[in-house]
């Protein structure tokens, strides 16, 4: 589940929740949550449950989104599927934006 931190970060940002608020609502430290979002720590299933509750999304959605695409499974729950589809689109949009910004920087770099 290497992507769980990225998923947490994207959902948190999309909902306009600060990292400190999410940490408080999830009963974890800000430093731990920051490490999770950076992919440097993996939360336990219990912590994933608390984070998903604080984000008001099913923990199943976080777990499904964090799975590698090669091992991707889907949920029979239409609500969870809708959430995962929307978040996957946000992840792809973020990747596209990063690529675009890199291209712009390269084109405007002195030299």
In tens digits, the chain (111 residues) has pLDDT values of 457 898 899 889 988 999 999 999 999 999 999 999 998 999 999 999 999 999 998 888 888 777 766 556 666 677 777 777 777 777 777 777 777 777 777 777 776
Contact (Cβ atoms closer than 8 angstroms) between residue 66 and residue 88: no
In angstroms and rounded to an integer, the radius of gyration of the C-alpha atoms of the chain is: 15
Q: What pLDDT does 30 receive?
A: 97
Query: Hey, what long-range contacts does 58-67 have (CB within 8 A, 24 or more apart)?
Result: 58/83, 61/87, 62/4, 62/7, 62/8, 62/11, 63/1, 63/4, 65/3, 65/4, 65/7, 65/91, 66/1, 66/2, 66/3, 66/4, 66/7, 67/1, 67/3
Enter the DSSP assignment of 39: T
How many beta carbons lie within 10 A of that of residue 88, not counting itself?
Answer: 16
Closest listed residue to residue 15, CA positions, set 85, 64, 86, 67: 86
């Amino acid at each position: 589940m290497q992507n769980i931190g990225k998923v947490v970060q994207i959902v948190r940002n999309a909902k306009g929740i600060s990292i400190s608020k999410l940490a408080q609502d999830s009963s974890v430290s800000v430093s731990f949550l920051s490490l999770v979002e950076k992919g440097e720590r993996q939360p336990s299933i219990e912590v994933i449950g608390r984070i998903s509750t604080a984000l008001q999304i099913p923990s199943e959605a976080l777990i499904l989104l964090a799975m590698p695409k090669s091992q991707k499974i889907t949920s029979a729950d239409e609500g969870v599927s809708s959430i995962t589809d929307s978040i996957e689109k946000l992840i792809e949009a973020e990747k596209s934006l990063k690529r675009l910004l890199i291209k712009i920087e390269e084109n405007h770099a002195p030299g």
